[in-house]
Structure 1
Amino acid sequence: MRGLRPWQRLVMSVCLCALMVPFWFAAQNTHRFTSGHRTKTEGPVHCAWDGPCKGSWLLPGRQQGSGEIEGLTFAADEEVLLDIPVFAGRDWAVTDRSGLLARAIVEALCGAIGVVAVLWVAWARS
């Protein structure tokens, strides 16, 4: 890498820093996968016609959680369903726990491929 010009080193550093974002998302999804709880919604779930569904759920220790429920879509007449099984934390919920792990793997792989590509281009240029 000694053959790189100072501006090329700067560009490489910026690219490597930007490639940390997918790793941050992968870490967040992995944390959610390991720290979430299986629970059910409490009360009605409200779904926008073309947007996300929002609801509330009860976590262990009688903590109340609420927010957007990813992976859940309803027709307007199905909003009255109660006790929908979700995997949740305090401010997030998903209907499919395995989706968290799959996203974490994809994000980590994309980040790793990006890092390898940046380093390979830098090595080829030097």
Structure 2
Amino acid sequence: MIEAIKPPWTGEWTLAQLSVHPNSRVQAVAQRLLGPPFNYLREDMFTGQLINRLCEFVQVLPGGRYDASRIQEGWNDWANCLEQVQGTFFIPSRAWTLGMEPRARLVRLGGPWQR
């Protein structure tokens, strides 16, 4: 009996698992978060809400297959943000990292994303 693949947003995924996810876009972001400048953070900062946000665009099809062709706008915003700030990203707090700080926001001023 084959165990069913759980959807990524159940919160049971880790960055290491996502770095080999069948969807190449998920792989790319997970691998980026596992490398500098993000790898100095404990991996438990990238569980729960953040991983759910990274993966919620994946459409689960019958049989546990994933449709990589259907990408939601929210995911593109996340990926584009990471691409803009790559190499200059600064994480001031765990709450901000997880997107739980209501006063924190990313603003684009004609260049890289800034806090």
TM-score between both structures, scaled by the size of structure 1: 0.18
Larger radius of gyration: 1
User: Which structure is higher in RCO with an 8 Å CA cutoff and minimum separation 6?
Assistant: 1
Larger proportion of helix: 1
Larger proportion of strand: 1
